[in-house]
Structure 1
Amino acid sequence: MIIGCGYVGVPLAEAFHASGDVVFPTTRSSERARQFEQQGFHPIIADVTNPDTLRSLPEADTVVFAVGYDAASGVSREDVYAEGLKNVLDSLPETTRRLIFVSTTGVYGDAGGQTVDEETPCDPARPGGKAFLKAEHYLRNHPVWAGRSVILRMAGIYGPSRIPRSADIQAGKPIPTPGGGALNLIHVDDAVQAIRLAADAETFSPLYIVSDGSPVDRRDYYREVARLLAAPDPTFEEPDSDSPAAKRAGSDRKMSNRRLVEELGFQPKCPSYREGLAAILI
């Protein structure tokens, strides 16, 4: 069962389905449910912020919580990630073998450009990171699900149709991003791989960072996008101090994927942004 079947959840559902698994994706939309049915899935209309819609969840061997945030929903990130996960934990059949929670590296604070791993203390500055950390706390302290769960802290997920600023680069518009600072990434296909490894592992740690292990300077990333698009070299400007770009850049850290590689055998199809962007843009 994939709770929140969006940018990562759809290819994950397709991968499970192709392996012969019965897949139950959740959605809040009846139209989306019809599309899932046409793909051979068994959709469930449910909303993690509404416990009444979670009362009849089916039994599933593996449950993946991969809910995205909809700014138009009228609820907070904490309502979705933290309280939403809590609602799911209260509703899951206890026959579930494994629960995988797709979290974020946004739970960390600024590391001054140093390398961060699973043992690094968390100090999120933004609301999303704080909400995810609260959700992780619920899971790691739950009397039933703590011992059956894996938390995957995802770096920035990119892939087809999700390359930030590509339209601005083609148009020659200045990119609001500060100089310096590491950008940590994971291609969507490799995010799916990591989730499947966590689902299938016989032995596992409760927490993994999911990154390609190749941090890149933010401006170098945009330069590579421009090169592949045959666009002019991008120009940059300092973002407004209150903008999301400035706040993201305020936490300079390099993510280590060593535990994921050594324990679960993770081998990224796109070991850096170069291979990942080339696979999309060429």
Structure 2
Amino acid sequence: MSSQPGIRQFAVVGNPIKHSRSPAIHQMFAAQTGVALEYSTLLSPLDGFAETVGQFFAAGGCGLNITVPFKEQAYVLSAKLSERARLAGAVNTLWQQDGQLNGCNTDGLGLLSDLQRLNAPLEGARILLIGAGGASKGVVYPLLNAGCARLHIVNRTEERAQAMRAHFSSQLPDYATRMSAGGLLQAEGEWDLVINATSSGLQDTAPELPGVRYAADALAYDMLYAALPTPFMRQAAEAGAHRCVDGLGMLVGQAAASFAIWNGMTPQLEPVLRELRRQLQEP
């Protein structure tokens, strides 16, 4: 970790992590706002996340973003949780304040801002959410609060999807009737918005979704991002999705929310999103 005075240290923790664009994003935010910082990647052993976090803050680190597969572990580590993190049961942003580890979840803010940028169907929409891990948990409340008519959560292990629905139904009883859950084979039906919150694309695969139909103007949204269409995006296009989009905009949006928590300033998203897309297209 740098010892330069006045340079605050941040990082993103995950496994795998080398693909992350977060360092580039936060350096662009820093250039916009005049904040002096360094932002790096941290590869944590799967069985050593708590130690990785502890060592980072013990060495003077100021803030961490958390990605696959550690968001639920970050929730457990946090002594103080934001309302968003408490509802999600998952944390993607950590910082220390008054000697306590604070946790927040900015994934939902990032997704919602990107869906609004894309003019995606939200009010009255039928939404299929694939996956029941930390990435999925962070977006349930924002999607419900945006006015969707139905949110159906599916997962390869059905019990996890059902447990997630039960958790949010108990925490958000006013929304309980809009939520349902099941296994991947229970994803059949017609949907206005289908969101892939799994990491299947990292293995160059897509979730098996027999019976899924896309409405006339439906949007397929993959939380992962890549230079070329992801396996899920290709699958959705073949199944008739009107638009297929990756999660680069969500990544930038959630990063901006984390940056604001740590530095008290909200950066502009569009210039960063354009530059990242340009970089992805480079040979």
State TM-score, norm by structure 1: 0.38
Q: Normalising to structure 2: TM-score of the pair?
A: 0.37
